[in-house]
Amino acid sequence: MHSRKAQAALEFLTTYGWAFLVILIMIGSLAYFGILNPSKILPSRCNFGPEFECLDWQIALSASEVKLKMRNNAGEPIVISSFTVGSETTTALSCTAPANIGTSNVWGTADVRDYTLTSCNLAAAGFQSGEKEKVFINMKYYGVKSGSSYTHEVKGEIFSGVI
């Protein structure tokens, strides 16, 4: 009687073992051919925390630019003192800061502004047209009432298709 139970158990394990192996091969082939690439599935996004609302954004390889359209939700007029960029690529991403920052450019409460980071080395950093890439942006700002000795930093992120 024990030999029949052992044979049934062995047949059960063998049958489902083959099925499990086939499933693993299918998942491996889907991943190999890029069907399971999460960047193709995930939506584009732009996050700068509650202080700044991203209304629109663009990563333009042909123009070597990163564009942002943002609303100031900081609750007070501010001055942006600097922008710095980075990415997940092995080559460091660098851009020239927008022209409309600094002490002479007060950004009013709830106002919408366009910021264009130019001369970005997107191609050298490995960005490819049609692929989704991630750009990290650090923005330093201070309130007009407080002055430049009270600088704050906001870390933002853009995940979008490169055009």
Give per-residue pLDDT as tens, 81-138: 999 999 988 889 999 999 889 888 999 999 999 999 999 999 999 999 999 999 999 9
The answer on 150 and 80 residing in a single domain is yes
The answer on 10 and 63 residing in a single domain is no
The answer on 45 and 102 residing in a single domain is yes
Q: Which residues contact 126 (CB under 8 A, 6 or more apart)?
A: 89, 90, 91
The answer on 66 and 17 residing in a single domain is no
Q: What is the mean pLDDT of the chain?
A: 91
The answer on 156 and 104 residing in a single domain is yes
The answer on 98 and 125 residing in a single domain is yes
The answer on 68 and 21 residing in a single domain is no
The answer on 124 and 60 residing in a single domain is yes
What pLDDT does 74 receive?
93
Tell me which H or E stretch contains 140. Answer: strand 132-143
Q: How confident is the model at residue 156 (pLDDT cuts 50, 70, 90)?
A: very high
The answer on 67 and 11 residing in a single domain is no
What pLDDT does 1 receive?
54
Number of domains comprising the chain: 2
CB 148 within 8 A of CB 101: no
Question: In the Cβ-directed half-sphere of 2, how many Cα atoms lie within 13 Å?
Answer: 0
**Share above pLDDT 70 across residues of the chain, in percent, rounded to a whole number:** 99
Q: Tell whether the model's pLDDT for residue 2 goes beyond 90.
A: no
- Structure-token pair, residue 108: 């009013």
Q: How confident is the model at residue 146 (pLDDT cuts 50, 70, 90)?
A: very high
In this structure, of 9-13, 24-28, 85-89, 145-149, the range with the lowest mean pLDDT score is 9-13
- Whether the full predicted model's pTM is greater than 0.85, yes or no, is no
The answer on 89 and 26 residing in a single domain is no
Domain extent at residue 132? 39-161
CATH assignment of the domain containing 104: 2.60.40
Question: In the Cβ-directed half-sphere of 28, how many Cα atoms lie within 13 Å?
Answer: 6
The answer on 82 and 23 residing in a single domain is no
The answer on 85 and 16 residing in a single domain is no
Q: How confident is the model at residue 47 (pLDDT cuts 50, 70, 90)?
A: very high
